[in-house]
Structure 1
């Protein structure tokens, strides 16, 4: 396994002394890390990944919109990376940068191939009945909440936020229920980028390969079957890769969005007022969480097809460019007052932007899952509060995602089948 400290490539002059994304300070307070980078370098900063691999992190909202709007200059194919052949196959960041050494992922296709494959995924997701999907979300959320409502305590990440999306997305894609729990661990391992990242990716891959075999032999009324039957005629490998993208993105972003929303609801008065005291509808309150604490912090990657002038730097051809989605959402040029809300605005970049952004059906499904999950908690668990001091909550050690490892809470136990019937559940 590649050592995090071992230098894998020769550093260009631009990256000597650059910070390593994923160091302890980054995990403790990524927002402050992004703010320091912005103060030091401006809207585009040199950074290092595991193995001291150089990249450019885009921090500015305007600059990130520029990058995502120009796929010809800031291209998606990992084959354009001038360092690609120097990076070993066991580099733990490969699953998140280029989809792996072979680079077969839908995320890293370009041009007509990307339009066709992304269109097929969008059509397959759009085939989900929204009423039935909402009912599945509510039913699973009620079952999960019911499992601990009588106890007066819960660990909301492991027992709720991480389970609900995989249960619902697993149902939608056609993944057997028995696979759901193991997938949660594999998703987390892959995104952490540590020693188990490649093992996590391989587990997800094996699960999706089994799903591909099943839908080829016995298609059903699920996303995987619709994608397999799409007229573009995906190969088994393409189908597997596109299902991996769909389930990983559908699970992690929604799970951490839900966890971040509950954490904000319990620790930030402005968000408490939004969710609990009726200042905003739950769906609108959740969009404010995307502005302040988006689950997707950094997204990889783009590669410059030729030298590119961006912000205050000229990026050489073939360099890796990372999208600082969370940093762009808090860009002081867009939000001069820290914590200032942008009520009603959806200019956040949490779903990225441009032709490679998250498709609309996927955004709708994510919002449905998180909205249902939060509404059930608000209804089912009166006087919910943190079971530890706020500074003791633990965050996942991931460069890419902002998500809690655990969210311990206490509340007044409620008997089985009881439902919250009104009043003010938070004080």
Structure 2
């Protein structure tokens, strides 16, 4: 499972050594490229191809604060790192820069890669113990039941804007649905969903509210685990508590955090990218309409072309070794450029060739740490997009594709907004018997800090209003975030 990654675009650049600093000169002389800052964030793929042309499959790079590392861009080399944890560990405690005191305590890199008591940070027997618990607990879910939940919640979300004739599909749809489904899977009340969506958004953006948002989510999860000890149910929290691996409460909380945040972030991005491709690529939509491509095929194509995570953090060399001819020292950090690996000419000589039915992309990682929630993410994305297109078959983008905005960081590149229009639909009231039931009736806690999350509410939209002025209003709000 790919961890969530705060947006570093607004980070204070003073963490980097000043131009006259000897450390700056030493690193710049090595030809390393920064994986942060305006140039990189404007077009990560262009930077990847420049690095590939200059250095090959493995390139020297600098992360925020000019912390050195290696970016792996070759498809086969990424798989080699993923499949050999004995050479490339997930345990950041062996990082030479950290051990030698060269990583500031306030470095924004640390929240992304810091060691935690979960399967993502573990290797060997400890990883197997924790991974078995998460795999076996996730495996207890009825996949058809998950799709039924997705369908119900999808229709509820569509009902909220169907009569308006216009919507913004990132904040009103893609950001909402995964978290609603995940809170049900974890055993949380439905009422938690909207607040956690807001908190998760701030956490991943790395905003000034990220710390309070993280604290709020952890508080909610600890309360959930405490409640499930006395009132278990058919949910992930209860199954992890009762698993024979005997996870501690802190381990249970951290795995729930990993599932909740990583799965939500990646599934939100996957849904948004799939919808954008359907709405902007006529060949793509024609293939769907003509039956030449199914929605699951479309989702896999997006996972090849626009994986939710651009760069996967991180692995550390356990010994001196070589990779693609590069000498890697023990303790060196490697980050995996999966978006670059997916377009490696060694495996995709013609990027225009459809990848229908081919699941060998790197979007969900690989090896022993391959994302355990990959099938859930697929189920949410293809079921939701299919239901939306069935309900609103005339849906189309309401702005030029060139006007769409993106949010980038070292690790991700996500669509900020997807404004659409369609013929307004009458929405019939949904009988109470057809509404999804909460798995618990407890309301969201009132003690969480008020500043834990910023509002993700969309601006009011009015059927028949000026299309351009509405979008400009949305755009101004998004740019102020």
Q: 1:135 aligns with which of 129, 148, 153?
A: 148
2:439 paired residue number = none
2:387 paired residue number = 376
1:297 aligned to 2:297?
no
1:112 paired residue number = 125
Shift of 1:194: 4.9
Q: 1:33 aligns with which of 47, 55, 61?
A: 47
Q: 2:84 aligns with which of 70, 74, 77?
A: 70
- 1:175-324 to structure 2, matched below 5 A, reads 175-324=188-337
For each residue in 1:245-292, what CA deviation from the matched residue of structure 2 results, as whole angstroms up to 9, or x when unmatched? 111122111111000001111122332233333221111111111111
1:401 aligned to 2:412?
yes
Shift of 1:387: 1.8
Q: State the distance in 2 between where 1:202 and 1:36 align.
A: 39
1:328 aligned to 2:341?
yes
Q: State the distance in 2 between where 1:306 and 1:298 align.
A: 23
SS of equivalent to 1:203: helix
SS of equivalent to 2:197: helix
For each residue in 1:14-58, what CA deviation from the matched residue of structure 2 results, as whole angstroms up to 9, or x when unmatched? 874422223223333222222122112211112222211112111
Q: 1:23 aligns with which of 37, 48, 72?
A: 37
Q: Is the 1:191–1:398 contact (alpha carbons within 8 Å) kept by the matching residues of 2?
A: no
- Higher Rg of the two aligned structures: 2
TM-score of the superposition, structure 2-length normalised?
A: 0.81
1:7 aligned to 2:16?
yes
For each residue in 1:175-208, what CA deviation from the matched residue of structure 2 results, as whole angstroms up to 9, or x when unmatched? 2223222222332333334544444433332222
SS of equivalent to 1:301: strand
Shift of 1:126: 0.9
Q: 1:59 aligns with which of 73, 77, 94?
A: 73
TM-score of the superposition, structure 1-length normalised?
A: 0.91
Q: Quickly say closer, same or farther: Cα 1:24–1:196, change in 2 above 3 A.
A: farther
Q: 1:161 aligns with which of 171, 174, 192?
A: 174
Q: Quickly say closer, same or farther: Cα 1:18–1:55, change in 2 above 3 A.
A: same
For each residue in 1:307-331, what CA deviation from the matched residue of structure 2 results, as whole angstroms up to 9, or x when unmatched? 2211131111101111111111111
Shift of 1:79: 1.1
Q: Quickly say closer, same or farther: Cα 1:257–1:43, change in 2 above 3 A.
A: same
Shift of 1:225: 0.6
Q: Quickly say closer, same or farther: Cα 1:80–1:10, change in 2 above 3 A.
A: farther
Q: Quickly say closer, same or farther: Cα 1:151–1:15, change in 2 above 3 A.
A: farther
SS of equivalent to 1:165: helix
Q: Is the 1:15–1:47 contact (alpha carbons within 8 Å) kept by the matching residues of 2?
A: no
1:46 paired residue number = 60
Q: Quickly say closer, same or farther: Cα 1:377–1:169, change in 2 above 3 A.
A: same
Q: State the distance in 1 between where 2:47 and 2:209 align.
A: 25
Q: Is the 1:106–1:117 contact (alpha carbons within 8 Å) kept by the matching residues of 2?
A: yes
Q: Is the 1:92–1:194 contact (alpha carbons within 8 Å) kept by the matching residues of 2?
A: no
1:148 paired residue number = 161
Runs of 5+ consecutive residues of structure 1 not aligned to the other structure? 419-427
Q: State the distance in 1 between where 2:29 and 2:245 align.
A: 43
SS of equivalent to 1:326: helix
Runs of 5+ consecutive residues of structure 2 not aligned to the other structure? 1-9, 430-481
Q: Which moved more, 1:104-113 or 1:253-262?
A: 104-113
Q: Quickly say closer, same or farther: Cα 1:298–1:406, change in 2 above 3 A.
A: same
Q: Quickly say closer, same or farther: Cα 1:194–1:39, change in 2 above 3 A.
A: farther
| Aligned-residue CA RMSD (Å) | 2.1
